Amino acid sequence: MAPEISNVSMFFLVFFVLIPVSLSYFYALGLSKSIFWSSFRGVTQLFLIGYVLTYLFSLEPLTGISIMLTVMIVVAALHASKKGQGIPFVRSITFLVIVLIEIFVLVMWLGFDMISFQPDQVIPMSGMVIGNSMVAIGLALERMKSEFKEGKGKIIAALALGAKPEQASKILVRKIVKASMIPNVDGLKTIGLVQLPGMMTGLILGGVAPIEAIRYQIVISLSIFASVSLSAMLVTVIFYRFFFNKNQQMIQMKES
């Protein structure tokens, strides 16, 4: 079992914050305020969510899980959709994609008896899936706007030669999906060699046997990989169509 971390020990974590702040000041990066604010906000949010989870874990499983998953998905959708500002229906479609991904993963977990339908299992694992899906969607949206802006000339030329929007966008769509998946592909290649993943480390510190901890880590790692792949693919396939009008002409997205 891991020893309990005292409040005094927690206080000295401030030195971990002072390192990037010092580097920012030394190199005149202008990030000192952002680093302090982000650190304070992150710590505060974690403590608050600790109390919230303690309460939710005491409720009926369906109630506690439903409340927390709803909050997670809404926040994730709002955050990810910011990368796609100017694209029609970006928030609602992003929300729907994350919901579908979470339902798919949860059905797989419960259907194959990988976890139990209990808040202390479903909420932490779903949080990792939703969080990684959020990042993948954000990357895909950001990359999509960039690729369509830079490749506008080639797409218009292809359309002028008689190509349909899906044909003119095919190469860009591939690049966008690939770019969104690369971080997770690279992560899987080095998992267990370069780093011991968070879930596995937490379970081992909690006293779980390493082999059992590895089983849970494999479940969550492959679940995340699948959710990231599906998220990137779905948002790209859905949203690239909004870059064309009904007359199959390319349009310029408004920045908002």
256 residues of the chain, pLDDT tens digit each: 556 778 888 888 888 999 998 999 888 889 999 998 999 999 999 999 999 999 999 999 999 999 999 999 999 999 999 999 989 999 999 999 999 999 999 999 999 999 999 999 999 999 999 999 999 999 999 999 999 989 989 999 999 899 999 999 998 889 888 888 888 888 888 887 776 777 888 888 888 898 998 999 999 999 999 999 999 999 999 999 999 998 888 887 766 5
Q: How far apart are CA 249 and CA 85, in angstroms?
A: 20
Token output for 205: 């510190």
Domain ranges within the chain, ordered by starting residue: 1-58, 60-243
Predicted local distance difference test score (pLDDT) of residue 197: 79
Q: Return the biggest CA–CA distance within the chain.
A: 69
Query: Cα 139–95–142 angle (5° rounding)?
Result: 20
Predicted local distance difference test score (pLDDT) of residue 69: 97
CB-based contacts of 206, cutoff 8 Å, min separation 6: 1, 2
CB-based contacts of 117, cutoff 8 Å, min separation 6: 61, 62, 65, 110
**How many residues are recorded in the chain?**
256
